[in-house]
Structure 1
Amino acid sequence: MTKVRVACIQTDICLCHKEKNVKNAIYMVRQAISEGAEVIVLPEVFSTGFCYDHISGSSESPEGPTLKILSDLTKESNCVIISSIIEKEQSMEEEKYFNLGFCLDTGVVTGTYRKTHLFMREKQYFTPGSMIVPISLQSKDLVIGLQICYELRFPEVARKLSLMGADILVTVAEFPKPRKELWQTLVRARAIENQIPHIACNRTGSDPDSSFFGSSMIVDASGEVKKEAGEEESILIYDIDTAQTSDVRETITVLKDLRTDIY
């Protein structure tokens, strides 16, 4: 597969109001599907925001209702949806919570990723994940490299995903004001240094602690910004040509020239 139509959906998120957020996301996902989108990305913890005060009630397992609703939609529409939710893992001894990235592919959870680098207040509530592995789609000849928000600051994450065969880098985020220029720079840098298309999906709106600038982006393998949102809710649609990645990597052989013997 060389060309795939992707959609980056920038939503506002009403803190702790899962039903409202999921309903809004589904409405916008259906709009993207009507425009032919095959791979659709939503912001980080799109269904609840960082609902720390009611984390037990807002969290769920990958088999819970939120992923079931979205999974049914991917089956009905033959598409892929990528985002993250607050995951609860229950054992006899304790409850653990994770920022769980997920990839739903035509009715199936094809892969999950527990955020490995936790940012500030997240450390009080979440357990970090312990594995960085790309996700292979079952309906398309594509491999997704999924990272979550703060991990944009760690070039090692994107580099590992790229070296492990990711075709498209995806970042789901709640990147707040005033760090818009930082976001734009990091999003492009991760694409440029790995010569990989990058879908970076941020939220907009505000919660009691932060406000968000949006600026979701789709960047090609050369680092050129192909689509960028403003601060409003939006849907970015773009046809990514994965064949361009090979051309870019053959022109400037960054990955071949890595000196793994000295770093």
Structure 2
Amino acid sequence: MEHRSGPWGTPVKIAVLQCAAAGGCWATAESRLGDALSVASAAGCDLLVAPELMMPGYNCAQAHFDHAREFDALRRDLSAMAAEAGCALVTGCAEREGEAIYNTALAIGPNGEVLAHHRKRLLFGDMERATFHKGSGASCLFEYGGRRFGLLICYEIEFPELARDLARQGAEVFLVPTANPEGYEHVQRYLLPARAHENGAFVVYANYCGTENGLTFGGQSLVVGPDGECILSAGRTPALLIGELPTLGVYPPGVLSTQLQDLS
């Protein structure tokens, strides 16, 4: 297990995008993402996190089949956006490989470099299971700005095992693009603080708001600290949360859980 002792790395300034889903229109999604990146960059942010399947939207299965893009095309377009803004980016997108379509999240650095590529392994609901292939492979981690990040998509953060696996490999921030519907507010209220506290990690959760093709999203994007306390939170309308993730060392002894070490 990677040992995370004392303060390390540097504070990271983040932006969390909460917006309406694009309903299958890739150009609309790119425009919203580009606007958010510009604001985040102007605010001095190091990283922007956007929702699950930001491009071309979530509740639009036919658009996933029609408009999913291959990795090279996704990399090219997202890299250009991040490099132009000079801000790292984590966002969801529909990815095609041959006949298979994946619910994917990509992390792109501020110079346009690919930091991480994660395909959702635990699909949720009939639409996802009918549309997407399950991802496979090792847990997705990357380093940026002196911090180690773990990447999960929506439903995956609800499994203690997946978060714990990332924490055991040294992740101190879980980045979670999501599309959490109305009626599932227990995730933000209970599960995310639990995942954060039991692993001594930050959770960054970027959700949609509004309604897309009959599905209403719950909003309430948030950032939770490793003590289980909320750092940033949104309501149910469009928002761009901006704040700083401090280093773990700023938390006083006794505040953070020792579960991770006790299980090693």
Q: Do both share a fold (TM > 0.5)? A: yes
Match of 1:244 in 2: 249
Match of 2:57 in 1: 49
Q: d(CA) in 1 for partners of 2:256 and 2:190?
A: 23
Q: Is the 2:107–2:116 contact (alpha carbons within 8 Å) kept by the matching residues of 1?
A: yes
**Change in CA separation of 1:104 and 1:231 when aligned onto 2, cut-off 3 Å:** same
Tell me whether 1:20 sits opposite 2:24 in the alignment. no
- Match among 129, 140, 143 for residue 134 of structure 1: 140
Q: Is the 2:200–2:257 contact (alpha carbons within 8 Å) kept by the matching residues of 1?
A: no
Q: Is the 2:226–2:256 contact (alpha carbons within 8 Å) kept by the matching residues of 1?
A: no
Q: d(CA) in 1 for partners of 2:119 and 2:173?
A: 18
After superposition, what is the alpha-carbon deviation per residue over 1:225-260, rounded to whole angstroms, capped at 9, x for unaligned? 0110011111111111123377568854221111x6
Q: Is the 1:145–1:169 contact (alpha carbons within 8 Å) kept by the matching residues of 2?
A: yes
**Change in CA separation of 1:42 and 1:249 when aligned onto 2, cut-off 3 Å:** farther
- Match among 1, 7, 15 for residue 7 of structure 1: 15
Q: Is the 1:59–1:87 contact (alpha carbons within 8 Å) kept by the matching residues of 2?
A: yes
Partner SS state of residue 160, structure 1? helix
Q: d(CA) in 2 for partners of 1:224 and 1:216?
A: 14
Match of 1:165 in 2: 170
Scaled by the length of structure 1, what TM-score is found?
0.90
**Change in CA separation of 1:132 and 1:248 when aligned onto 2, cut-off 3 Å:** farther
Match of 2:94 in 1: 86
Q: d(CA) in 2 for partners of 1:235 and 1:244?
A: 27
Match of 2:71 in 1: 62
Report the alpha carbon displacement of residue 130 of structure 1 after superposing the two structures with TM: 1.5
Q: d(CA) in 1 for partners of 2:162 and 2:253?
A: 21
Q: d(CA) in 2 for partners of 1:245 and 1:97?
A: 42
Where structure 2 has 5 or more consecutive residues not aligned to the other structure, the ranges are 1-8
Report the alpha carbon displacement of residue 156 of structure 1 after superposing the two structures with TM: 0.7
Scaled by the length of structure 2, what TM-score is found?
0.89
- Match among 216, 222, 230 for residue 217 of structure 1: 222
Residues paired across the two proteins, number: 253
Q: Is the 2:117–2:140 contact (alpha carbons within 8 Å) kept by the matching residues of 1?
A: no
- Match among 86, 101, 107 for residue 103 of structure 1: 107
Q: Is the 2:102–2:132 contact (alpha carbons within 8 Å) kept by the matching residues of 1?
A: yes
**Change in CA separation of 1:162 and 1:32 when aligned onto 2, cut-off 3 Å:** same
Report the alpha carbon displacement of residue 52 of structure 1 after superposing the two structures with TM: 1.0
Partner SS state of residue 40, structure 1? strand
Partner SS state of residue 31, structure 2? helix
Match of 1:231 in 2: 236
Letter in 2 for 1:125: T
**Change in CA separation of 1:89 and 1:245 when aligned onto 2, cut-off 3 Å:** farther
Q: d(CA) in 1 for partners of 2:88 and 2:212?
A: 28
Report the alpha carbon displacement of residue 24 of structure 1 after superposing the two structures with TM: 1.3
Aligned-residue identity in percent: 26
Q: d(CA) in 1 for partners of 2:230 and 2:255?
A: 20
Partner SS state of residue 243, structure 2? strand
Partner SS state of residue 83, structure 1? strand
Q: Is the 2:197–2:257 contact (alpha carbons within 8 Å) kept by the matching residues of 1?
A: no
